Amino acid sequence: MEVASFRKKELISNYVILGIFAIVSLAPILVLIFNAFKPAVEFGTNPIGLPNNITFQNFPDAWIQGEYSKIFFNSFKLVLGTLILCISVSSLAGFSLAKLNPKGSNLVAIYLLVGISIPAQMFLLPLFLLWKNLGLLNTHIGLIIIYSALNAPFATFLIRSYMIRLPDELFDAAKIDGANILQQFFRVAIPLSWPVLLTSALVVGLAVWNEFLFALTFVQDEELKPISTILFAFSWRFINNQALVSAASIMMVAPVVILFLLFQKKFISGLTSGGVKG
Contact between residue 58 and residue 36 where contact means Cβ atoms under 8 Å apart:
yes
The answer for 118, left when phi > 0, alpha when psi is -120 to 50, beta otherwise, is beta
User: For other proteins, which residue of 69, 121, 135, 168 counts as binding (CB under 8 A)?
Assistant: 121
Interaction between residue 15 and other proteins (CB under 8 A): yes
Total chain residues near other proteins (CB under 8 A): 96
Binders in 193-222 for other proteins, by CB under 8 A: 206, 209-210, 212-213, 216-217
Least CB distance from residue 130 to other proteins, whole Å? 6
Least CB distance from residue 101 to other proteins, whole Å? 7
Which of the stretches 14-22, 57-65, 165-173, 193-201 binds other proteins when contact is defined by CB under 8 A? Answer: 14-22
Which of the stretches 51-59, 163-171, 193-201, 240-248 binds other proteins when contact is defined by CB under 8 A? Answer: 240-248
Name which of 90 and 193 has its Cβ closer to other proteins.
90
User: For other proteins, which residue of 112, 166, 192, 198 counts as binding (CB under 8 A)?
Assistant: 112
Which of the stretches 58-66, 118-126, 171-179, 190-198 binds other proteins when contact is defined by CB under 8 A? Answer: 118-126
Three-state SS letters, the chain: CCCCCCCHHHHHHHHHHHHHHHHHHHHHHHHHHHHHCCCHHHHHCCCCCCCCCCCCCHHHHHHHHCCHHHHHHHHHHHHHHHHHHHHHHHHHHHHHHHHHCCCCHHHHHHHHHHHHHCCHHHHHHHHHHHHHHHCCCCCHHHHHHHHHHHHHHHHHHHHHHHHCCCCHHHHHHHHHCCCCHHHHHHHHHHHHCHHHHHHHHHHHHHHHHHCCHHHHHHCCCCCCCCHHHHHHHHHHHCCCCHHHHHHHHHHHHHHHHHHHHHCHHHHHHHHCHHHHHC
Q: From CA 125, how far away is CA 130, in angstroms rounded?
A: 9
User: For other proteins, which residue of 25, 110, 178, 221 counts as binding (CB under 8 A)?
Assistant: 25
Q: Count the neighbouring beta carbons within 10 Å of the beta carbon of residue 40.
A: 17
Interaction between residue 47 and other proteins (CB under 8 A): yes
Which of the stretches 62-70, 161-169, 170-178, 253-261 binds other proteins when contact is defined by CB under 8 A? Answer: 253-261
Name which of 77 and 271 has its Cβ closer to other proteins.
271
Least CB distance from residue 242 to other proteins, whole Å? 6
Q: Would you give the binding string for other proteins spanning residues 160-189, x where CB under 8 A is met?
A: ---------------------x---x----
User: For other proteins, which residue of 87, 219, 267, 270 counts as binding (CB under 8 A)?
Assistant: 267
Q: How many whole angstroms from its chain centre is CA 26?
A: 20
Binders in 73-92 for other proteins, by CB under 8 A: 85, 88-90, 92
Name which of 53 and 101 has its Cβ closer to other proteins.
101
Interaction between residue 272 and other proteins (CB under 8 A): yes
